[in-house]
Amino acid sequence: MLLDNRRRNSGLFNFGFDDKDRDGFFIERRFDVYSTPLVSFSLTPQILVQRAIDQGSFPDPDHFGLVADLDFRPSPNTTVQAVANFSSLDFSEIEDRLRASVRAQQRVFNHTVALEYSYRDRLFNGSLGFQDVQSSLGLVINSPRYVLGDSLINLTYQGSIQYVNAQTDQADLYPSLRQDRDLSCIDPDDRATTGNGCADLTRYQVAATLSRFFPIWYGTPLPPTPTEGLRYTPTPVVPYLGVFTQVQGVYSGYSNGDTQASLRGSVTLLGQIGRFSRPFLDSTEFSFGYFNTLLEGKSPFLFDRVGDSQFVIASLTQQIYGPLRAGVQVAYNLDTQDEIDTVYRLEYRRRTYSIIATYSSGRREATLSFQLNDFNWTGDPGPFSGSGSNTVESSVIPSIN
């Protein structure tokens, strides 16, 4: 029986690899401690296997992690979410072992207004790598998706004001003497070698996105029966070919007087060949996208600085045999001719469950997850999803989940 519209935990247990926070391989399992249509609270204990092997003397509080997740919905238009992520249960260094966020969201007319606070938010900013935002407090307004008349062009926009403490490489924003410089926002492993420091600034940002999908061809799905359209997937696959176009403009202003303005355009060819029903090479998903950015100014922070102005993203996912599929996605900077990130994916998919393994060379993260397609399962989580950190796109910080 479906009690509410929350998405339930679909994994039995997960294996993960996090070389940054958890020193490598770990195992986790989520438990729903309390769940009603109004409030849900879950705990995800973790065993940090590789750290325990490297350090020895198991068990030790440093060999365990924990994720606590609270979701409170006092009304249909109001939600409050809080997450505390501990990469160690040794609380003597909790300031470097805790990541946390709180988000109170209210629907106002057809917009969402959110008050957000995050502590040590972990973001991946392309070629600039992982960046920690030590703290951020602010207000974010998101629009719904508008369709502009008969043009089929989608419009979304966002506005925010945030007080941010994060890493900067601009020496005028922090004391020049090393002993006076605040290093709390910098990863502990980098504090001894970095020449950067931390800065507190107010950040104002507006962003707008126009997008449209141009279908070139649609095929017909197979009947939704266990031997045809539902043989390996919870819903029949529809073959297609199309082009997705997008233009995004972002303006960011900072309380020290700096500004960063960008206009990014992209064109992506997308396709699905086959219906994933026959046992051999009956499913090929592919995409190839080109992104180019016009940029003026530069952010004083590293976490939202536009570092990749011209790049491509290409992906291919292929059925090997039966329910087994393999995929790879590559992001490549055309200006520097450097790889941004490569994500590998191996999937064993059935109609009622999936086993998915991913590895990101740029993020140095890996996951192995078991997922059940139950009553609240909303479909494929995405061909290259599963990493434990958000990605900054055109300097826009993703909303806290």
Work out the percent of the chain whose per-residue pLDDT is above 70: 90
Q: What is the pLDDT of residue 331?
A: 95
Q: What is the pLDDT of residue 362?
A: 86
Q: How confident is the model at residue 187 (pLDDT cuts 50, 70, 90)?
A: confident
Q: What is the pLDDT of residue 204?
A: 97
Average pLDDT over residues 75-82: 95
Average pLDDT over residues 323-350: 94
Question: For residue 400, is pLDDT > 70?
Answer: no
- Is the distance from CB of 369 to CB of 100 less than 8 angstroms? no
Average pLDDT over residues 114-118: 96
What is the distance between the alpha carbons of residues 270 and 249, in angstroms, rounded to a whole number? 23
What is the distance between the alpha carbons of residues 199 and 24, in angstroms, rounded to a whole number? 30
**Least reliable range by pLDDT among 197-201, 212-216, 314-318:** 197-201
What is the distance between the alpha carbons of residues 347 and 331, in angstroms, rounded to a whole number? 21
Structure tokens at 133: 């935002």
Dihedral angle sign, alpha carbons of residues 19, 21, 26, 30? negative
Query: Strand 284-297 vs strand 310-321: parallel, antiparallel, or unpaired?
Result: antiparallel
DSSP per residue, 220-231: -PPPSSTTTTTS
For the stretch 222-245, pLDDT in tens is 999 988 988 998 889 999 999 999
Q: What is the pLDDT of residue 261?
A: 97
pTM: 0.86
Residues recorded for the chain: 401
CB within 8 Å of 145: residues ≥ 6 apart: 154, 155, 156
Alpha helices in 242-301 (DSSP H): none
Q: What is the pLDDT of residue 176?
A: 54
Beta partners for residue 133, in sequence order? 121, 166
Q: Which helix (H) or strand (E) holds 115?
A: strand 111-124
For the stretch 245-287, pLDDT in tens is 999 999 999 999 999 999 999 999 999 999 999 999 999 999 9
Beta partners for residue 240, in sequence order? 218, 272
Q: What is the pLDDT of residue 345?
A: 95
Q: What is the pLDDT of residue 180?
A: 64
Q: What is the mean pLDDT of the chain?
A: 88
Q: What is the pLDDT of residue 196?
A: 86
Rounded to 5 degrees, φ, ψ at 362 are: -75, -40
- CA distances (Å), origin 83, targets 47, 66, 190: 19, 11, 26
Specify which of 176-180, 289-293, 387-391 reaches the highest per-range mean pLDDT.
Answer: 289-293
User: What end-to-end distance do the CA atoms of the chain give, in Å?
Assistant: 26
Q: What is the pLDDT of residue 266?
A: 97
Q: What is the pLDDT of residue 5?
A: 39
Q: What is the pLDDT of residue 383?
A: 52
